[in-house]
Structure formats: structure tokens, C-alpha cells
Structure 1
């Protein structure tokens, strides 16, 4: 994920100098959001490239093995899948009235197809990055909210309006 995050941050050189700290925080937040979109796009682009290379490999290997593929007769399977389901019959493999037994711990699970594994990896990377980016963005958003709150408090005091959260001083 490092190759996605460590990208050049959009330049602030073309922007005018901020008038105050609040404007500066707004520019920082906007710049962070641009960078976040770039990182997310990079993660998705890498997943697409892996998917295309997987499809290219599968196409190449299928061209090589076309004559050796045996095509099983699936007519019995299709007939069983099309059989009508009777509500009272339940699970045809389970004994009547008994719960399903736990799976054998020594049975090996079918591996996840490579396409799904790539999708899961990309989603995990996006979630991890989003968590990191949210923490960073929230820091600046909180600072901006504090600054706006302090500014509105000062404006209310300047107009003689008392903040109901503060106790009067004697």
C-alpha cells in the first residue's frame, strides 16, 4: 500500500496565500481530499491491472489446453437442480428431525477463486486506507470546527451576547 500512499501531494503553489488560519485549514482539507481520491484510484487501478493479467494468463493457458479438456455430461446434475422442492421435505441430505452435524475439521475448504481473492485484497486495502485517511482528515476538520466555534464565541461576546454554556463571572 505504500506505493499508493507515497505519491506527490497536489501542489499548493498555484493557490493564493490564505488570509487567515481558517482558510488555511480549508485548503489543507481540500488538498487531503484530492490526495485521498488519487490514492483510492491508484489502489483500484492496481486491482484492475492484476485482474487483466489474470485474465490474460487464463486465456493463454486455455488456448494451450483446449484439446485436453474433458466435458462432463451434466444432464443428471441439471435434472436434479430442476427437481421441484417440497416444503415439508427439508434438507434431503439430513436425517429427519436431526440438526446438521458439524463439519469434519480435516476437510479442506475449496480455495477462493483468484478473482475474488484480488477483489478482497483491494477492498481490504481501501478500508485500511480509508481508516487512516479519516483519522488524518478528522484532525484538521476538528481544528477547523474549534476555530469556527472560537470565532463565533468572540463574535457573541463582542455583541454583548452571553454564551449559555459559561457561568457569569462575579
Structure 2
């Protein structure tokens, strides 16, 4: 897809959202079922069933997906797609590229071993390695716009209000 093709696809959407701001509000959903036999949760991805379990550092077998890995994978996916869309819009040619996310966890917090150890990622590093001839000023703009428009990155940076409820089935 080139910049013009992308503009043709997105223009009517942008016009609609400008005319009716509520049309741009979409609720995404994720759903999972607790595994009755294992410490795992079966998450419906829309394409396949992803089974998440404990990370080996918390006693898991490693056979199931780790939700922390899934969070980083979501960040990589969103950042990669956003970067490609922004590069396309800017006319920046990318011959190849790699997106990497790393996050530091202290499992003492998750396991309740140390009350001073945080539960969750302490630091996350997102890195892009691109094969391109674009000048540095364009790459700086590409990174800035990718950061600005990446939904997962912005969600992590600006933690939304999250409500948790427990109900009987």
C-alpha cells in the first residue's frame, strides 16, 4: 500500500469522525475462560485460542503463553503497524525493519515475597531497527509520530481508569 491508497481508505473514515465524533468511539473486547484443570486462562483472540498460564519464574511450565509477554507482543504489534502506517503516509521507504520490546519484572512482587518489590513492569524499552535511506530528520519525525499514534504505547504511558469487578456466574 502506498500513501495515496492509504489516504483513499482513511479519508471517508476521518470525514465521518469529524462530522460525528461519537462514530469514532469503538469498544474493543477481550474474553477468556478459566481452565478448569490447570492454572491457565483461555483467551479468544479472534483468530485462535491463546492459552495463558504462569510464567516459569512463578512456577509455570512455560507451555502456556505468559500474559507479560502478550503485553509486550501487543506493544510490538501496535508500534510496528503504526510505524508502517506513518512511514507510508510520510513517503518513507522501509526496506526492512524490526521492532523489539523488553520489559523488566521483579517476580518477588508477583509472588508476594517482598512487599517493596513492584508487581508489574518497572521499565519497558521499545526499539525500532530500520533498513532505510531516509534522512535522520525524517526518522526523528517518524518516531515522534509513531509514539503519538500508537494506541498501546499511549495506553501504557497514560494509564486509563481501570475498573475490576467480580460477580457470581
| Alignment TM-score, normalising by the size of structure 2 | 0.27
Higher strand content, 1 or 2: 2
Which structure features the higher share of helix residues? Answer: 1
- Indicate the structure whose relative CO is greater, using CA pairs within 8 Å and at least 6 residues apart: 1
Q: Which structure: larger Rg?
A: 1
